[in-house]
Chains A and B, each alone.
Chain A
């Protein structure tokens, strides 16, 4: 198993921070490449939603969070889960239907949660996690825990009633909530141009009386800075912030996507804005890390993923016993 010490702070503030940011972006990328490969070889079941190309969002946002801060995630949730510090082996094991998987094989890719790192769960329902995050923020406020909640969701989710209702409640109650929209330009086949009359989705913040900021979601530094400001506001009791992190999904929506709604050129254009080399240029420019250090991080991340796949594949499969008993938590006497 892989230990995940969570680190906080600006990705350019020290070599250690830069290493962390890079390592986590690589982990997300390579985890998902491994998932895609396992699917391709028929070793994985169901469907998958990959966030390759979007790694800077969750990585930057989680660098602004403590381990006790909470998140809610989405169907495209591997990145959030990894960035918040989840164990790679247990994640991979879940996708392979193993007993040691985060959900014991009952949830799969779309339902990974990890109480230890404050991850309240990925979600199969678009928008489903947004009011839940508002509720976590409400509890934080009521219990004076000093924690914040971050809800990750897509552009598409902003057109669900759940978004609107949660944003308004969080606003009127000044909840310590960060509404983190990963605007990857599409909700399945629906472009933001088709689904919105707005250029900047962050402008929706005005409608709720909360700040809305748009950031380059492929720049882990910009994402961190926006998240850090929002977290500070939230911890200060000043209420929620809407962050729109503009990015792009390289892969199809899910396994069955034929990409009929966008052009190859558009996909290529965004591949040139890859968040990983983007960050590497920055740290090299500033002399924070050397080329060798960067190569070492890439190597380590690959080894970590290979190790996770190996351990997960070797783990015992989930068995059907106890399924009925698993529906309810036992009532204690």
Chain B
């Protein structure tokens, strides 16, 4: 067992490096991923290691970039697209939602699209409404896309390797505040894959089940550690992929704890956590609930600029802590 601690940016880069060494068909394309090393430094030195053809700098043309990746994927390549901010997937949405997502099904299985689209999302950088969104529901609502939301470097590496192997389009949403921080767990050397569609029980507990992805896993973990000192025992589940969504561990956990809180950074309205709630409501574990399900999410507003406004727009550690304490104390 290695004890290497990497940041998310390093782990993602390592996965891309391994995939590019393994297969010639893998290449990366996107804006400023070459000499610049990526807007968030994720591609780093890959341009110097693999050259300008396999780390392909593009013009500012998101629709063209994703379209070219779809065409290349249909023709024997395995492109990894980097879209500089997830907000700009909007420009490319035709190629993502109408083309990539539908080709395999719509064409009777004649063709398929092995494509990964990596993109940073989330608030907390003071970049305001057009650079801070969490767009999971855009992608999760389109059949034909797999959607991965890694919460830590080790998972990011294993999941990205699996995503690159996958013969289907995979949207890989990286929270930009996670890029520079090391995870709690070491990142294994080598090419270990983590299959898509398998939830992870991050921490076991008996009083409350928290389901969270991405940066909300870190925040919830901190809360769980803190509240354990107060005798509140939290089980934390990270679905890791929200499409497909592995619900079995969630149901099992809810059966045990009888309390459920779902946490996401994006706005509550039509967020992916509502799918978690719907699935729990329709399953047998619903009968084990002794408390109303708690939903903690971002406000239904665009992300504001000023730090004092940006903070209230999305759940903070203190909000998760207060909500967790309340649900356990009030429902016995």
- Which residues of A approach B to under 8 Å, CB–CB? 45-47, 94, 97-98, 103, 105-108, 110-111, 123-128, 156-157, 159-162, 187-190, 194-196, 256-257, 260-261, 317-320, 323-324, 326-327
> Is the Cβ of B313 less than 8 Å from the Cβ of A97?
no
> Is the Cβ of B309 less than 8 Å from the Cβ of A195?
no
> Is the Cβ of A45 less than 8 Å from the Cβ of B129?
no
13 contacting pairs across A/B (C-beta < 8 A):
A45-B307, A46-B125, A46-B126, A94-B305, A107-B304, A159-B61, A159-B64, A160-B62, A161-B64, A187-B60, A188-B60, A189-B57, A324-B301
The dominant DSSP class at the B interface is loop
Contact with A along B63-104 (1 / 0, CB 8 A): 110000000000000000000000110110000000000000
Instruction: Out of A124, A256, A261, name the residue touching B130 (CB < 8 Å).
Output: A124
Task: Report the bound CA distance from A327 to B82 in whole Å.
Answer: 30
Interface size class of B (residues with CB under 8 A): 35 or more
B299 contacts the other chain (CB 8 A): yes
Query: Which residue of chain B has the shortest Cβ distance to A256 in the bound complex?
Result: B39
> Is the Cβ of B61 less than 8 Å from the Cβ of A105?
no
> Is the Cβ of B57 less than 8 Å from the Cβ of A110?
no
> Is the Cβ of A190 less than 8 Å from the Cβ of B306?
no
Contacts of B306 in A (CB 8 A): 45, 97-98, 105-106, 108, 317-318
Q: A159-B60, A189-B36, A190-B32 are in contact. Are A111 and B307 (CB under 8 A)?
A: no
> Is the Cβ of B91 less than 8 Å from the Cβ of A323?
no
Task: Report the bound CA distance from A261 to B313 in whole Å.
Answer: 36
Q: Give the 10 A-B residue pairs with the shortest CB-CB distance, closest first.
A: A46-B126, A97-B306, A108-B305, A124-B130, A105-B306, A189-B36, A159-B59, A45-B126, A106-B304, A320-B312
B270 contacts the other chain (CB 8 A): no
Task: Report the bound CA distance from A187 to B39 in whole Å.
Answer: 12
> Is the Cβ of B60 less than 8 Å from the Cβ of A125?
no
> Is the Cβ of A125 less than 8 Å from the Cβ of B36?
no
Chain B 1-55 residues near chain A, CB threshold 8 A? 31-32, 34-37, 39
Contacts of B32 in A (CB 8 A): 188-190
Contacts of B63 in A (CB 8 A): 161
Q: A46-B126, A47-B125, A324-B300 are in contact. Are A187 and B59 (CB under 8 A)?
A: yes
Task: Report the bound CA distance from A329 to B306 in whole Å.
Answer: 21
Query: Which residue of chain A has the shortest Cβ distance to B84 in the bound complex?
Result: A188
Query: Which residue of chain A has the shortest Cβ distance to B38 in the bound complex?
Result: A189
B302 contacts the other chain (CB 8 A): yes
Contact with A along B113-132 (1 / 0, CB 8 A): 00000000000011111110
> Is the Cβ of A103 less than 8 Å from the Cβ of B305?
yes
Contact with A along B307-332 (1 / 0, CB 8 A): 11100110000000000000000000
> Is the Cβ of B305 less than 8 Å from the Cβ of A106?
yes
Instruction: Out of A257, A260, A318, name the residue touching B308 (CB < 8 Å).
Output: A318
> Is the Cβ of B60 less than 8 Å from the Cβ of A260?
no
> Is the Cβ of A318 less than 8 Å from the Cβ of B60?
no
Task: Report the bound CA distance from A111 to B305 in whole Å.
Answer: 9
Task: Report the bound CA distance from A131 to B32 in whole Å.
Answer: 25
> Is the Cβ of A124 less than 8 Å from the Cβ of B301?
no
Query: Which residue of chain B has the shortest Cβ distance to A128 in the bound complex?
Result: B130
Contacts of B131 in A (CB 8 A): 110, 124
Task: Report the bound CA distance from A106 to B35 in whole Å.
Answer: 34
User: How distant is B35 from chain A, measured CB to nearest CB, in Å?
Assistant: 5
Task: Report the bound CA distance from A300 to B91 in whole Å.
Answer: 44
> Is the Cβ of A190 less than 8 Å from the Cβ of B31?
yes
11 additional A-B pairs beyond A46-B126, A106-B309, A110-B131, beta carbons within 8 Å, are A46-B125, A106-B305, A108-B305, A124-B87, A124-B130, A125-B91, A159-B60, A188-B36, A260-B36, A318-B306, A324-B300
Contacts of B126 in A (CB 8 A): 45-47, 108
Contacts of A319 in B (CB 8 A): 308-309
Task: Report the bound CA distance from A108 to B129 in whole Å.
Answer: 10
Contacts of B312 in A (CB 8 A): 320, 323
Query: Which residue of chain B has the shortest Cβ distance to A254 in the bound complex?
Result: B39
User: How distant is A112 from chain B, measured CB to nearest CB, in Å?
Assistant: 10
Contacts of A194 in B (CB 8 A): 57
Q: A106-B309, A107-B128, A124-B129 are in contact. Are A190 and B304 (CB under 8 A)?
A: no
User: How distant is A203 from chain B, measured CB to nearest CB, in Å?
Assistant: 16
User: How distant is B123 from chain A, measured CB to nearest CB, in Å?
Assistant: 11
Task: Report the bound CA distance from A105 to B129 in whole Å.
Answer: 12
Contacts of A123 in B (CB 8 A): 130
Task: Report the bound CA distance from A97 to B312 in whole Å.
Answer: 14
User: How distant is B15 from chain A, measured CB to nearest CB, in Å?
Assistant: 23
Of B131, B309, B313, chain A has the most CB atoms within 10 Å of the CB of: B309
